[in-house]
Amino acid sequence: MFSRSITLSVIILILFTSLQISAQTQTNGSQANSVVSAVPFLLITPDARSGSMGDAGVAVEGDANSSSINVSKLAFLKNDYGFGISYSPWLKNLVPDINLAYLSGYYKLSSRNTIAASMRYFSLGSINLIDEKQQDLGSFSPSELALDVSFVRSFGENFALGTTLRYIYSNLGSNQFAGNQQSAAGSAVAADISGIYKRKTQIFNTDAILSVGTNISNIGTKMSYSSSGLNYSLPTNFKIGGASTFFIDNLSEFTFALDFNKLLVPTQPIYDANGNITSGKDPNRSVPASIFGSFSDAPGGVSEELKEVGIGTGVEYRYNKQFALRAGYHYENPNKGDARYFTLGAGLKYNVVNIDLSYLLANSQNSPLANTLRFSLLFNFGSSKGTL
């Protein structure tokens, strides 16, 4: 009970404290967690397949879970419609009942046009609330939710674009008071813009498919969690990557993936003792200014901007398109999140059903993500409406 209360208190403190105050507590804008945003659960990869490849997958062949990483990949699916269910216990080394659930589905209107919808639900379990006089205030279940609708269109055999509209709801505070501020549920709307290009080729006399994909996600309104009206940026994120699939023979194929990832939100500047900015830029900017300024606002200049780029890479071996083994590695700079871990996974296809599992390998003493499991169950139906 005590650890649960501490966990919620930390979450509320982080979300309710203004960006200005948070930055002033730092002596160097390069310190860890100097990129601050609301609803970071939107950055979690729910798909077990991508999760087992170091969270890479923006250009990997699509499936029913593609809405979570690059919805434009749905344009090249062979089946008419399908849906997926994913689940992951999250941060279980800290709290036993935090979890992420993801439900997605798609339908091909024609050979060119596809629609999709998805729901992401992040639960922080149940918490007993106690006031400063140790009086029981009952229980509360903090949670966050994102609802998506998407449209995808292909332009020939090799290129497709997709767009997603998203509604976000975050309820973490149960209308409680923290200091002089009353917590409130936050809400926002956002959009994603994504694309993919792929082509068939030969490399070393081996048939292959080369792909390049990109996704700019969570472009939207700011969010407030308190009665004071302090606004926080959404975790607008730029992901770009490539993938190469080699068809060794009629049964075996290897896929190699590499993704680069950068948050398009303000980096916290350096403040002096009087609260004046001595290096960097004011983080309280409009959404467009925050996005475009995120490439040049780090106090440490270009070297610090490069530290904000995360890397995910992975490899997948598939046999007869029915059985898969996967491995990957994810890296973030120690001063910019410090999420560094290996991943493993496997997949099995039987008839219309795909089952995927991923496992995260990290030092359990240093990483709360250690031993994280992700499960995905995919269903695909209908014959192909044809490709161009």
The number of C-alpha atoms within 13 Å of 278 and in the hemisphere containing its C-beta is 12
Tell me the C-alpha distance between 115 and 321, whole Å: 25
For 109-164, the pLDDT digits (tens) are 999 999 999 999 999 877 766 656 666 666 778 889 999 999 999 999 999 999 99
Q: Which helix (H) or strand (E) holds 13?
A: helix 2-16
Task: Output the pLDDT for position 38.
Answer: 86
| Single-letter code of the amino acid located at 289 | A
Among 220, 237, 230, 304, smallest CA distance to 267 is for 304
Residue with tokens 């490439």, as numbered in its chain: 295
- CATH fourth-level superfamily of 2-381: monomeric porin ompg (2.40.160.40)
pTM of the full structure: 0.84
Ranges under pLDDT 50 in the chain: 1-33, 386-388
Task: Output the pLDDT for position 240.
Answer: 97
Task: Output the pLDDT for position 195.
Answer: 97
| 221 burial level (CB within 10 Å; 0-12, 13-18, 19+) | middle
- Residue 19 phi/psi, 5° resolution? -60, -35
Among 329, 324, 336, 334, smallest CA distance to 366 is for 334
| Cα-Cα-Cα-Cα dihedral sign, residues 67, 70, 72, 76 | negative
The β-bridge relationship of strands 223-224 and 143-154 is unpaired
**Contact predicate 119/102, CB 8 Å:** yes
CB proximity list for 357: less than 8 A, separation 6 or greater: 48, 52, 345, 346, 347, 373, 374, 375, 376
| Single-letter code of the amino acid located at 352 | V
Residue with tokens 């593609």, as numbered in its chain: 66
**Residue 370: helix, strand or coil by DSSP?**
coil
For 306-316, the pLDDT digits (tens) are 999 999 999 99
Task: Output the pLDDT for position 179.
Answer: 54
Tell me the C-alpha distance between 38 and 33, whole Å: 13
Task: Output the pLDDT for position 228.
Answer: 67
The β-bridge relationship of strands 309-319 and 323-331 is antiparallel
Residue with tokens 């200014």, as numbered in its chain: 289
Residue spans per domain, the chain: 2-381
| Single-letter code of the amino acid located at 372 | T
Among 362, 300, 361, 308, smallest CA distance to 335 is for 308
The β-bridge relationship of strands 113-123 and 143-154 is antiparallel
Instruction: Say how many C-beta atoms besides its own lie within 10 A of residue 295's C-beta.
Output: 13
